[in-house]
Structure 1
Amino acid sequence: MQYFNLALNNLSGMIPPSLYNWSSLEVFDVGVNMLHGSIPDDIGSRFPKLESLYLGTNDFTGIIPSSISNISSLRSLDLVHNTFSGYMPPTWGRLGALQYLNLAHNKIEANDNKGWEFITSLANCSQLQVLALSNNSFGGQLPGSIVNLSTALQQLYLTDHRVCGSIPADVGNLVGLQLLMIANTSISGVIPESIGKLENLIELFLYNNSLYGLIPSSLGNLSQLGILAAHNGNLEGPIPTSLGELKKLFILDLAMNYRLNGTIPREILELPSLSWGLDLSYNSLSGRIPDEVRSLTNLNQLILSGNQLSGKIPDSIQNCIVLERLFLDNNSFEGSIPQSLTNIKGLSVLNLAMNKFSGNIPKAIHSIGSLQELYLAHNNLSGPIPLVLQNLTSLTQLDISFNNLQGEVPNEGVFRNITYLAVVGNINLCGGTPQLHLAPCSISKNRKRMPKFLAISLATTGAILFSLSVILLLWILCKKLKPSQKTLAQYSIVDDHYKRIPYHALLRGTNGFSKVNLLGRGSYGAVYKCALDTDERTLAVKVFNIGQSRYSKSFEAECEAMRRIRHRCLIKIIASCSSINHQSQEFKALVFEFMPNGNLDGWLHPKSQEPTINNTISLAQRLDIAVDIMDAVEYLHNYCQPLVIHCDLKPSNILLAEDMSARVGDFGISRILHENTREGMQTSYGSTGIRGSIGYLAPEYGEGSVVSTAGDIYSLGILLLEMFTGRSPTEGTFRDSLDLHKFVKDAFPERTFEIADPTMWLHGGQHDNAASIRIQECLVSVLRLGISCSKQQPRDRALTRDAAAEMHTIRDAYQKFRTTLNK
């Protein structure tokens, strides 16, 4: 027997001694079970041909035997998540074929030179690519010999232990590194200048350490760097402008260093690659936000809390069109809250608390329909609370305390559940829900006046009680608002958005990639529902078929696209996994947010069911979904850097969230544009051949034309026609010269109701003649747009920006009509 695999079977007990007698074994995998016991001391002689040994995620204990180093053929050793203890054998250098060594999450010790000898020995493993030592009982000084590890080393994990000392000055010797993670340790000293020699580095994690001194300007040499996370340390001085050379950077997190000072470098704000987040919070930065913030059109989170920033928020911030979270609290910003913020339609969290803002709360905030949290506490705002705020159906958190607001507190929407703490400190507010305990608003100017002595007594008593309340509430609020390192660390961009998920965790979370968890299959792999032990969210895992080279290239293309783009209407990637599976085969997967309502195709063409209100979508929902898709495509074509052509827009690649909002997904055959040229004439390159889907593929692609934004627009046009007619472009009706485009065009506009999808009308009652005319006008407009986008010649099709604007106009007009109809 050469192969033995019992991974993920809920096995318990000890491994029978007889299993160690199979001397011909090449793969031994019992990972992700509940096995216990220890590894036999003579395992090296029992398995002389072993190439892969997987014992991870069990309850094994004891010492790791030195005889393992006698297995000269060993390539992969995974002992993660057990309770192995003691020192590591100092003879690992004999494993000349070793490529992967994962010892993380054990109790292995190394407190002196002897305990660290295995690092010196590993320098002889010239093929070592991955070394994971996180979460162990390591202590003492980090050995300088770590810089002598193989130049083939690509990933080095040194996190969550008591190691002290400094990062060796010659860390630049590890020129093959793509990922370096030194985090949650007692490492101190400066970041070595030689780190700038790691030109292959893609991810650099140096957070939760005691590193001090200046950020070396040599970091600007890391041209491939995508993630730089050095939050929660003691770094000081100005942020080097050389970071502006990191043209592929999509996460920059330097928060909580407290002694980083100076202004925000304009060069950083001119990095359009920044997409997942820019976090410079809780430092000592001063000055204004530079106008160059307009360049961050791809940014998802901007966190500048807890600095000494001042002046007005520049109107150019409205160019950050995909911003979802904006934290400017705990600074000294002044002036009025700029109307330009209301142009950021995807904003979900806006925190402007503890500044010097004055004037009224802009009524236009109600136009940010996706706003979930709004914090305006501790400013100098005055005037009434805009009544329109109660129309923000997504708003769940609102804090307007300690301002000079006056008038009646609304009592609908978010104001139904608002707490006293969220309005306290505004002495001229009245009304609202009973739990606010505010005085009722005056309804008459001619009320009988109370006796003067009683008024004085009540006023004095009220003032005393109010003062005591304010003191108590200020103490509570200070406790609530004061940032602790533990609290702030929980909201790190890196921790929240880029968790690294190992293969065995995905294996367990999908129940061994079982059919029960299967959500669907495509050309390049399968998608599974996944529930991780460490995450309350349900996730979706796309596992790629690594049988042919094109599948690997699809994985690379999708990774390259997804790591760069962030938009509320695009499916969000949680992590990627590139590893070896339990069969010693290459494993590649992407982990996404889970969409509970499946894909659009299932709603347009419900399988084996009679169409009902529960499995079809209304006209209003289709319009909202179409707007979401248009917004996503406009972002891909015009705003993200570099620009992206999706190449496979179709209903099965449109995912629907719990609220039926749409997310565009599946970037497996997407193309990244060389450069930004005139819209509609952009060309691209890609690592795979042109592959779209029949019925949605632009005609010019079949003639060998290069990929263009106009090709996506064609697919988008067909998608629109399908959404509102319910007819698939591949159904049997369409043959010879008749296709979906011609079918709609021939019936347009006289027979619009005739060709419209009748399942839309399951969701509405009877309408009078005037209402039917307005609905017909809406359908005519959207079908006209679909026809315009799906014309035969690319030059005749609508431009992305124009198509998106037209779709918004159609949807907004219909929403206005429905509001009027319901009054």
Structure 2
Amino acid sequence: MGQTNLTGKIPSTIGNLSVLRDFSVYFTNLHGSIPNEMGKLKTITRLDLTLNSLSGKVPSVLYNLSNIREISFTGNGLIGRLPPTLGDDFPLLRLGYFGLNDFTGGVPPTLSNTSGLLAIDFVGNKLEGTVPEGISRLQNLFYLGLGTNNLGSGEDNDLDFIGSLANLSSLRILSIESNNFGGLIPASIGNLSNKLEQLDLGSNKIYGNIPMELGNLVNLINLGIKNNKLSGDLPTSLGNLQMLGELDLSNNRLDGSIPLFFGNLSILNTLILNDNQLKGQIPSTLRYCSRLQSLSLHNNRLSGSIPGEILGGLYDLLTLKLYGNSFSGRFPKEVGNLDKLSMLDISKNKFSGELPNELGKCVMIEILKMGENNFSGNIPLSFSSLRTARVIDLSCNILTGNIPLELQALSNLQVLNLSFNQLEGEVPFKGPFANLSAIYLLDNKRLCGGLSQLGLPRCFKRQGRQLISTKAAIGIAVSLFVCLLFAVLLVYLLRRKGSNTTVLSIPSMKSGSFQRLTYKELSKATNEFSTRNLIGVGGFGLVYKGVLEEDKNLIAVKVMTLATPGAAKSFIAECKVLSRVRHRNLLQILSYCSGLDFKGNEFMALVFELMPNGNLDTWLHVSKNLKLTQRLEIAIDVASALDYLHHDSEPQVVHCDLKPSNVLLDSDMVAHVGDFGLAKLVQGTVADDTSKGQSSTFAVRGTVGYVPPEYGMGGNVSTQGDVYSYGILLLEMITGKRPTDVMFKDDINLHTLCSYAVSKSSPMEILDLHLVDQTDVKFNRKEIESIGEQILQESAVGMLEIGIACSAENPNERIDIRHALNALHKIKAKLFQFN
């Protein structure tokens, strides 16, 4: 009776079915506890309770069902200690899934007595202790899942058990990530089965060198050891892993150079080596990795020039991140061969020469960041071909000449940063140049024209060598002088009036939680708000990264652009909301600042914890390498945040601007909802309008595509509005299509497209192709592999259905966010059983 609308509890009369052999009720809506009477089912061989809402302890009598061959408790709310006698209780067990519950205790040492065991999964519990060596006797085991627990002590010798797994000749998947395993990776890891395809040791406390013996695992497809403390060189033996598709060694302390052997890994798809201490040049042999789609080498100590032959050979490259190194010389023109490239970030290096004209051939590019280098010359006219570009950052270079008028055709451009160059001439005023929040032109002293709000001087047309009107120029100069004199007098009178007049009322931040910082402290933390520390721009301000001097914590400082209408009110709104809410999936505010800068100007800033992995929008539309499981985890994180804001926060909070760019990701890819500048506090049924005094459009303003239709018709702010935005976000995560995509017009939008596809039983046709490409579940039995692929498809479709239910046009027809969250948890449990 799996995958039905079955509800209620498991009846105690189930015990009367004395010859029952198979009881399968996975992915239904059962709740309550497991009845003791199930202990009477002496003939049962298969018990599948996956993805329900069962709770409480597993009755001890169930462990007397010695004929059990397949059992799954995955994805419930079960508690209690796993019995150490589990292997003796189920001597015939072949498939055992206990993941995604709250089981405690240790890995049962008696598992070694289940000689026919094929797969055992304890992922996502609270298990502690060590891994028993007796598991080495399970000759048929192909999957061992111990990830996301509390195993290990964080000390030396935690991984010694790996040597005992050498006898598991059928092992294909070994997952021990996100635990407390410490110490060195033992050399005995090279003795594991040569059939091993997936090995994940990430997010532990492992240190020391990567052992040469790892190169013996010649059939590895995925290898992940990220977020540890590995050091030393990359061993040359890794060049033996010619089946490797994904290698992630990011966020360690690896040094030395990038070895030549990467040229041997011809089917490598993803290479992630960022946030280490690698030095030297990029080896030219990397050009032989012709299937490479994602290359992340940022935040290392790499230097030298980029050989054109490398870029010329990586035809399938989608993402190239080289920022935060010391590369120099001209950037190779061969970049024009990368016609699939969607993200190029080479900022914060020492590149020089002219911007390559060939970049105009990269017509699929969405993010182009080349700031903080030494590029010179003009902006190429070919950049007008980058019609899909959303971000172009050429700031902090030595660019000269005019801004090409042809750039007005870039209709998708959301950020064009040309600040801190030597550009001159007239600023265009159409296309992206008509959006003040999209263009940044600071410190280009010879620019003129453009929208009047930019505050640039007028451009004077010339006739021969004479200005058309010298008298007009003199008149303008006199007028400006008079205005300046009046402004100085006005400022003097206002300051003389003193501080008794409070223009803005800032909500109190409890001193026990938020220490108010000074402008001086924030200026020092961000190196005087250096453009080199600029990491983001928004409608109401600029975001800088920094380091607090006192505790050395990495921070993000959001400095409000007070000249922008609504910026001050947005600051107050964020203060008002963030002073009241606490949740692991909300962006944590650390402090704030409201006062005057060194020049006596009003200054407002919010200080947050730094999110190293940026925002969801970039991962969906630029990197495009989020797996389905990662998208599901992020969807659950965001729904959890909304569930807290809507149901557990006092007072209730409505976010009002939920979208992918406001979903930030920490170092472990945990999602945090941020930007509460438009949020509303709800007392009873009345929204506390934090933007009081603003127009009604500000009160309901969000982002086109994510704003619920009732807001556009004057409807009140409500939690149902947030649910609509969440539904659109969820559909975007699965389809890879923005709600503002050019394909949507007339009565067709993202919601109707997905609804039609599901109703016509053709949802697979609208799934994000990158999502499908990265579903790489593999098992050693064909029938289980088929089941795994089916569950992947069912999971994606299930997420589509939830998104459709959340984004119904009528607010009364939308499901509650808590309902959506529960449904996502069920999908997760089902998916993780086979992933």
Q: What range is the shorter-chain TM-score in?
A: 0.5 to 0.7
Q: What SS does structure 1 have at the residue aligned with 2:279?
A: strand
Following the alignment from structure 1 to structure 2, what is the Cα–Cα distance between the partners of residues 79 and 569?
32
Matched, 1:480 2:534: yes
Find the counterpart in structure 2 of residue 289 from structure 1. Answer: 306
Following the alignment from structure 2 to structure 1, what is the Cα–Cα distance between the partners of residues 631 and 787?
11
CA pair 474-345 structure 1, distance change in 2 beyond 3 A: farther
Find the counterpart in structure 2 of residue 405 from structure 1. Answer: 423
CA pair 143-538 structure 1, distance change in 2 beyond 3 A: closer
Asked if 2 retains the 8 angstrom alpha-carbon contact of 1:333 and 1:357, the reply is yes
Q: CA deviation at 1:17?
A: 1.4
Following the alignment from structure 1 to structure 2, what is the Cα–Cα distance between the partners of residues 108 and 569?
37
Q: CA deviation at 1:344?
A: 1.7
Counterpart selection for 1:388 from 402, 406, 410: 406
Q: CA deviation at 1:435?
A: 4.4
Unaligned runs of 5+ in 2: 1-19, 462-467, 492-519, 536-544, 547-553, 556-609, 638-725, 737-767, 801-835
Following the alignment from structure 1 to structure 2, what is the Cα–Cα distance between the partners of residues 386 and 202?
47
Asked if 2 retains the 8 angstrom alpha-carbon contact of 1:420 and 1:437, the reply is no
CA pair 167-57 structure 1, distance change in 2 beyond 3 A: same
Asked if 2 retains the 8 angstrom alpha-carbon contact of 1:156 and 1:179, the reply is yes
Find the counterpart in structure 1 of residue 629 from structure 2. Answer: 501
Residue identity opposite 2:775 in structure 1 = A
CA pair 441-139 structure 1, distance change in 2 beyond 3 A: farther
Find the counterpart in structure 1 of residue 133 from structure 2. Answer: 120
Counterpart selection for 1:539 from 721, 734, 746: 734
Find the counterpart in structure 2 of residue 130 from structure 1. Answer: 143
Counterpart selection for 1:588 from 789, 793, 809: 789
Matched, 1:328 2:346: yes
Deviation sequence 1:38-59 (CA, Å, 0-9, x none): 12334332x2111111111111
Counterpart selection for 1:16 from 18, 28, 35: 35
Deviation sequence 1:474-533 (CA, Å, 0-9, x none): 617454334969644457989961426399999x99xxxxxxxxxxxxxxxxxxxxx999
Unaligned runs of 5+ in 1: 111-115, 510-530, 542-567, 599-823
Asked if 1 retains the 8 angstrom alpha-carbon contact of 2:200 and 2:225, the reply is yes
Following the alignment from structure 1 to structure 2, what is the Cα–Cα distance between the partners of residues 161 and 25?
34
Residue identity opposite 1:586 in structure 2 = I
Q: CA deviation at 1:417?
A: 2.4
Which range is displaced more, 198-207 or 399-408? 399-408
Q: What SS does structure 1 have at the residue aligned with 2:109?
A: coil
Residue identity opposite 2:228 in structure 1 = N
Q: CA deviation at 1:392?
A: 1.2
Percent identity at matched positions?
29
Find the counterpart in structure 2 of residue 37 from structure 1. Answer: 56
CA pair 386-213 structure 1, distance change in 2 beyond 3 A: same
CA pair 532-61 structure 1, distance change in 2 beyond 3 A: farther
Matched, 1:370 2:571: no
Residue identity opposite 2:234 in structure 1 = I
Q: CA deviation at 1:396?
A: 2.0
Counterpart selection for 1:575 from 762, 775, 781: 775
Q: CA deviation at 1:264?
A: 0.3
Counterpart selection for 2:161 from 133, 141, 145: 145
CA pair 415-474 structure 1, distance change in 2 beyond 3 A: farther
Q: What SS does structure 2 have at the residue aligned with 1:285?
A: strand
Following the alignment from structure 1 to structure 2, what is the Cα–Cα distance between the partners of residues 385 and 592?
50
Q: What SS does structure 1 have at the residue aligned with 2:629?
A: coil
Q: What SS does structure 1 have at the residue aligned with 2:201?
A: strand
Following the alignment from structure 1 to structure 2, what is the Cα–Cα distance between the partners of residues 255 and 392?
31
Residue identity opposite 2:306 in structure 1 = I
Following the alignment from structure 2 to structure 1, what is the Cα–Cα distance between the partners of residues 85 and 794?
41
Question: Aligned runs of 1:176-325 on 2, under 5 Å?
Answer: 176-257=195-276, 259-274=277-292, 276-292=293-309, 293-325=311-343
Q: What SS does structure 2 have at the residue aligned with 1:316?
A: helix
* RMSD (Å) for aligned C-alpha atoms: 4.0
Matched, 1:95 2:114: yes
Following the alignment from structure 1 to structure 2, what is the Cα–Cα distance between the partners of residues 362 and 261?
32
Q: CA deviation at 1:250?
A: 1.1
Q: CA deviation at 1:151?
A: 2.5
Asked if 1 retains the 8 angstrom alpha-carbon contact of 2:305 and 2:327, the reply is yes
Q: CA deviation at 1:310?
A: 0.4
Q: CA deviation at 1:254?
A: 0.6
CA pair 591-335 structure 1, distance change in 2 beyond 3 A: farther
Find the counterpart in structure 2 of residue 449 from structure 1. Answer: 474
Following the alignment from structure 1 to structure 2, what is the Cα–Cα distance between the partners of residues 14 and 593?
26
Matched, 1:57 2:57: no
Following the alignment from structure 2 to structure 1, what is the Cα–Cα distance between the partners of residues 412 and 630?
34
TM-score (norm 1): 0.59
Aligned pairs, number: 535
Asked if 1 retains the 8 angstrom alpha-carbon contact of 2:266 and 2:288, the reply is no
CA pair 92-594 structure 1, distance change in 2 beyond 3 A: closer
CA pair 454-362 structure 1, distance change in 2 beyond 3 A: closer
Find the counterpart in structure 1 of residue 811 from structure 2. Answer: none
Following the alignment from structure 2 to structure 1, what is the Cα–Cα distance between the partners of residues 794 and 452?
43
Residue identity opposite 1:412 in structure 2 = K
CA pair 24-207 structure 1, distance change in 2 beyond 3 A: same
Residue identity opposite 2:418 in structure 1 = I
Residue identity opposite 1:283 in structure 2 = N
Asked if 2 retains the 8 angstrom alpha-carbon contact of 1:79 and 1:102, the reply is yes
Q: What SS does structure 2 have at the residue aligned with 1:98?
A: coil
Q: What SS does structure 2 have at the residue aligned with 1:415?
A: helix
Following the alignment from structure 2 to structure 1, what is the Cα–Cα distance between the partners of residues 397 and 117?
60
Deviation sequence 1:304-354 (CA, Å, 0-9, x none): 111110000111221222212111111111111111111122222211111
Following the alignment from structure 1 to structure 2, what is the Cα–Cα distance between the partners of residues 415 and 540?
30
Which range is displaced more, 491-500 or 262-271? 491-500
Residue identity opposite 1:96 in structure 2 = S
Residue identity opposite 1:78 in structure 2 = Y
Residue identity opposite 2:625 in structure 1 = H
TM-score (norm 2): 0.58
CA pair 534-456 structure 1, distance change in 2 beyond 3 A: closer
CA pair 209-500 structure 1, distance change in 2 beyond 3 A: farther
Matched, 1:169 2:223: no
Following the alignment from structure 1 to structure 2, what is the Cα–Cα distance between the partners of residues 303 and 29?
45
Q: What SS does structure 2 have at the residue aligned with 1:191?
A: coil
Residue identity opposite 1:119 in structure 2 = P
Q: CA deviation at 1:99?
A: 1.4
CA pair 253-505 structure 1, distance change in 2 beyond 3 A: closer
Following the alignment from structure 1 to structure 2, what is the Cα–Cα distance between the partners of residues 496 and 283?
23
Following the alignment from structure 1 to structure 2, what is the Cα–Cα distance between the partners of residues 233 and 583?
35
CA pair 570-499 structure 1, distance change in 2 beyond 3 A: closer
Asked if 1 retains the 8 angstrom alpha-carbon contact of 2:116 and 2:140, the reply is yes
Asked if 2 retains the 8 angstrom alpha-carbon contact of 1:40 and 1:65, the reply is no
Asked if 2 retains the 8 angstrom alpha-carbon contact of 1:503 and 1:581, the reply is no
Deviation sequence 1:607-660 (CA, Å, 0-9, x none): xxxxxxxxxxxxxxxxxxxxxxxxxxxxxxxxxxxxxxxxxxxxxxxxxxxxxx
Asked if 2 retains the 8 angstrom alpha-carbon contact of 1:581 and 1:587, the reply is no
Following the alignment from structure 2 to structure 1, what is the Cα–Cα distance between the partners of residues 268 and 164?
28
Asked if 1 retains the 8 angstrom alpha-carbon contact of 2:207 and 2:229, the reply is yes
Counterpart selection for 2:444 from 398, 421, 426: 426
